[in-house]
Amino acid sequence: MILSTKVVKLIKPLLFVLLIIPSVFWLYLFVEGRLGINPIDKLEDKLGELALRLLILTLLISSLSKTKYLRALQILRRMIGLFAFYYVMLHFTVFIAIDHFFNWQFILKDIVKRPFITFGFISFLLLIPLATTSTNNMVKKISYRIWKKIHMLIYIVTPLAALHFFLLTKANKIEPIIYLSIIFILLLWRLYSKLIKN
């Protein structure tokens, strides 16, 4: 059974609301002082984890939408990718503004010295061209061919973000290992698909 484009378009506004609610809810809890003993760390973690999940979901949708039965999922891919960037931006803003009070010297030292922050920062930087070229007008300006090459960065961004989470997690690493495994499978599937086409 082929997934209808009409059904996906109906789902899109609901998905938009569902994706924005967590950020509003967590920021509300933070302001109200209801995020536990370390509210800043908790807020950073929540925002970062959802960003990573949305990046993985974007990769998954990219793979699933290659099949004729699920091609309509492409309609959701851009929105989910932009929400991933939105949560990364919030995560990064909390890190620089609330956690470190714009202490750029300390922040830059942290980025250089601590590998998990290095991976996270590189991932953030590589997401910027993806987000800024996500409009239809930008695709027309730079051409679809160049747009497609730029958006291949998602295959670098997502593993780096997962490594960031893996190195950040000190105790139970099961969750980051699951994420890394899913990404690895999706990357292998992408490579396999390319080889089959060639």
Q: Of the given ranges (25-34, 38-47, 153-162, 189-198), which has the lowest mean pLDDT?
A: 189-198
CA distance 195 to 46: 37
The C-alpha R_g of the chain, in whole angstroms, comes to 18
Q: What's the pLDDT score for residue 144?
A: 87
pLDDT tens-place string over residues 91-142:
999 999 999 999 999 999 999 999 999 999 999 999 999 999 998 899 889 9
Angle, CA 75 vertex, CA 140 and CA 160 arms, to 5°:
85
Any idea where the domains of the chain sit in the sequence? 5-197
Q: What are the structure tokens assigned to 151, written together?
A: 């958006």
pLDDT of 157 above 90: yes
pTM of the entire structure? 0.94
pLDDT tens-place string over residues 30-78:
999 999 899 999 999 999 999 999 999 999 998 888 888 888 888 899 9
